[in-house]
Structure 1
Amino acid sequence: MNRRTTALLCAAIVAAVTVGTASAASAASAASAAPAAVARPTAAASDPFYRYDGSKPLASYRPGDVLQRRTLDYHVFGIPTPVKAVQLLYRSTDAQGRPSANVTTVVRSPHGDGSKAVSYQSFYDSLDPEDGPSRAIAGDVSLGGVIANAESLILAPLLLKGYDLVIPDTEGQNADFAAGPEYGTNTLDSIRAAVRAEETGLHAGTRFGLFGYSGGAIATNWASALAPAYAPEVNKQLVGFAEGGLLVAPAHNLRYVDGALVWNGVIPMALIGVARSYDIDLTPYLSAKGRALFEDLERGSIVDALGRHPGMTWKDMVKPEYKDPNSIPSFVEAVNKINLGQAATPTVPGFIGQGNAGLLEGTFGNPRGIGTGDGVMVAGDVRALARQYCATGNTSIKYEQYNLLSHVGAMPYWAPRAMAWLDDRFAGRTAPTNCGRIPAGNSLEPEKPTAAR
């Protein structure tokens, strides 16, 4: 495909995304106003490609080994494009160290030669595996999959620059939303699979950059942190990680959005996802309202959660004796496992952007001693993590804080800056740093359990 064809394709993608996003926005608005739950796809509708049913035990494969493969047209809101995508079912590892199977998508740039690739971590944020980016790319259309479709706007410029793309379903096939360690292993094994599959054109000499915002930042940072120990050969191929709008210490975020008008919907979503990932039963602690909410969101997406329960608090969801989240031992154990402040320090350069104007978005997060943020992410936590990386040996960290931008508003400002930063890493330029000049942040110490009252 020549450059003119690619440019026309990108224009078609933009047009499709614009139309699709407008339609999705209208649908989301209607969904927010309607009390009825959004219909969920049934298990029977699931694509058999996603299931490993081979005769060999999954545990007999190495993490990153390819189990199945297929080539199909890249779709945007169900519309096929001339771009071909290779999808791989591969072996990975879940949050509890058990073998799992997951899917990733590889898209070759018409201007690439296999020497450089970007692993793009989507911010699809859903508890329904049917909303993953691989499903959208294969042509599925769903309200929860709107984000994965719209992200084509971000991917097209990367293809034009000659980057091949690897796009993992970071949350795995159970859609374990917010379970960071699992996001990380899924991402690293996705790269392994892409390198091992001959038809992708990628190989052991391909250099990779990690790129992700919000939910995609969770995967990007955890992959960076886990790579030296979990996938050292992948770590050697990484030129750096670029991320924005990062979840660092989830217990802080819970307090920050508690009682908010919009973003508080991520509280039950994260609890469901993390509980699912670690096999935790939260039912004994939930109030009747909490149980109903959890059932409603069991297969929900961020579209189902935001703005649907304005002013809802943690106390509304649990029995009175558990009004302090830290009085639930399994909760404390889980949030400490997914606290990035307790994870290892990445060894490759990093670019971290964070908004700090959540009030402008009308989300009215409640700081409660943890400072301000972008409406859902706590800026002090992100600063603290960047400083921690600098202090523990990675002095190639660049942190930017956008004091006039919210979580949604910061993304379009951060993205081109992050792409430019990655361009420089692939070009071999020295990574910029502001270590020593990053303002102080919050403590990232583990949460401590308290007694139920």
Structure 2
Amino acid sequence: MHRNTARTLVAAVVTAMALTVAPAATAAAATPAAATASDPFYTYGGSEPLSSFAPGAVLKTRTLQYHVVGLPTPVKAIQLLYRTVDAQGRPAANVTTVVRSLTGDGSKAVSYQSFYDSLDPQDGPSRAIAGNLSLGGVIANVEAVFLAPLLLQGYNVVIPDTEGQNADFAAGPEYAANTLDSIRAATASAATGMNADTRFGLMGYSGGSIATNWAAALAPGYAPEVNRKLVGFAEGGLLVDPAHNLKYADGSLVWSGVIPMALIGVSRSYGIDLEPYLSDYGLKVYRELQQGSIVDALGHYPGLTWKKMAKPQYADPNSVPAFLEAVNRINLGSAPTPTVPGYIAQGNGGVLEGTFGNPPGVGTGDGVMVAGDVRALARQYCATGNGSIAYQQYDLLSHVGAAVAWAPSAMSWLADRFAGRTAPSDCGRIPAGNSLAPEKPAPTS
């Protein structure tokens, strides 16, 4: 495809998104029953048990037009149903989307992990790309802004549904399996133009950074052949220690709705029952958000705190064994160190009151993610043998603002890795952060 044609094509995608995102969101809210809700492509119905296939095996393939807020574009997308595992290691089927390089180059690809952040499987990026309209799916449509430059730079772009088909929000190890097995599937399929020699970069922000970092951390053990072809990972707005994030976002006017979302996602993925510990109000919120998305949560529960959600005897979340089990399972500080170079960016311009003992008005993160945790993780990687960690902190930017600054830097950093340039390192210059030790039970009186 001629480069000018490609530019025109991608410009049309972005323009369509910009012009239609607001009415599409309204339409989605009014008609939540999506056209792809019962799409048989998402179901494996073969005669062989799913467990008989290797992780990453392609189960189904289809080609369709890439949709932006429900409108078809000239861009072709290949979707693969593939075998993977859920958070508990059980065989599962999941979907990924591949947009082939506009130049026909099959040697390089970016696995882009979406920040669609939802508890509703209908909000996954593959469904949005297939034409599904849902309120939570608007996020995956907006991300066309990030995908367009990657296509113009000649990359193949792979977009996994990182949360799986149960939408297990915040379950980092499951995100990793879905991402790594998506790469396996994309390079095994004859339809994608890629193969076992295709090199990959990982890229994701916010919820997408959960998948990106966990995939980089678990790749050496879970998918060593994928790890060997990774050039690096670029991420921003990272969730590291969810117990710290709960304390940080507790009482926020905007971000506090993420607290019950994360509790639902992790309890769902690991089969943990949190309901016995919740107050009547907590149960109400917990049940309201069972299929909620980040769009449903942001600003809808202003001032929500753990204490409001919990029964009085569980005012300290560390007094809840199920909570401790959940947050310790998804603490990146306990995960292995990635063996490939990393670029990690984090905003520090968010303002929340009283967090981590700080006085009102002191920014300790970007409003939802804790900057001290991210610095601590980067320093941990440096101390445990990965000397190719670049860290950038945006002291004046919040979570949303930092994403705008992060994206071009992440793409430039990845381009250098594909070009074979030596990865820069900030090891030795990263300021100290918080302890990432596992949470301990609250003392009994």
State whether TM-score is above 0.5. Answer: yes
Q: Deviations over 1:291-318 (max 9, x none)?
A: 1111111101000000011111101111
1:164 aligns with 2:152: no
Q: Deviations over 1:163-211 (max 9, x none)?
A: 0011000000000001101000100000000011011011111000000
Change (3 A) 1:139 1:433: same
Pick from 257, 279, 299 the counterpart of residue 271 of structure 2.
279
Q: Distance in 2 between matches of 1:165 and 1:75?
A: 15
**Where does 1:411-430 land on structure 2 (aligned, <5 Å)?**
411-430=403-422
Report the equivalent of 1:13: 13
Does the 8 Å CA contact 1:258/1:365 hold for their aligned counterparts?
A: no
**Where does 1:327-406 land on structure 2 (aligned, <5 Å)?**
327-359=319-351, 364=352, 366-369=354-357, 372-406=364-398
Segment of structure 1 superposing worse, 398-407 or 109-118: 109-118
Q: Distance in 1 between matches of 2:15 and 2:40?
A: 31
**Where does 1:118-267 land on structure 2 (aligned, <5 Å)?**
118-267=110-259
Letter in 1 for 2:15: A
Q: Distance in 2 between matches of 1:417 and 1:132?
A: 26
Secondary structure of the corresponding residue to residue 358 of structure 1: coil
Q: Distance in 2 between matches of 1:385 and 1:23?
A: 41
For these two proteins, the number of residue pairs brought into alignment is: 441
Q: Distance in 2 between matches of 1:336 and 1:105?
A: 31
Change (3 A) 1:27 1:76: closer
Q: Distance in 2 between matches of 1:178 and 1:383?
A: 20
Does the 8 Å CA contact 1:328/1:452 hold for their aligned counterparts?
A: no
Pick from 80, 86, 94 the counterpart of residue 94 of structure 1.
86
Deviation at 1:250, TM superposition (A): 0.2
Change (3 A) 1:233 1:353: same
Change (3 A) 1:134 1:42: closer
Secondary structure of the corresponding residue to residue 235 of structure 2: strand
Q: Equivalent pairs: percent with the same residue?
A: 72
Q: Distance in 2 between matches of 1:245 and 1:20?
A: 27
Q: Distance in 1 between matches of 2:350 and 2:41?
A: 41
Q: Distance in 2 between matches of 1:26 and 1:91?
A: 35
Report the equivalent of 1:34: none
Deviation at 1:21, TM superposition (A): 3.3
Change (3 A) 1:23 1:292: same
Q: CA RMSD in A?
A: 1.8
Q: Deviations over 1:347-399 (max 9, x none)?
A: 0000000000012xxxx254224870000000000000000000000000000
Report the equivalent of 1:80: 72
TM-score by length of 2: 0.96
Secondary structure of the corresponding residue to residue 135 of structure 2: coil
Report the equivalent of 1:314: 306
Secondary structure of the corresponding residue to residue 201 of structure 1: coil
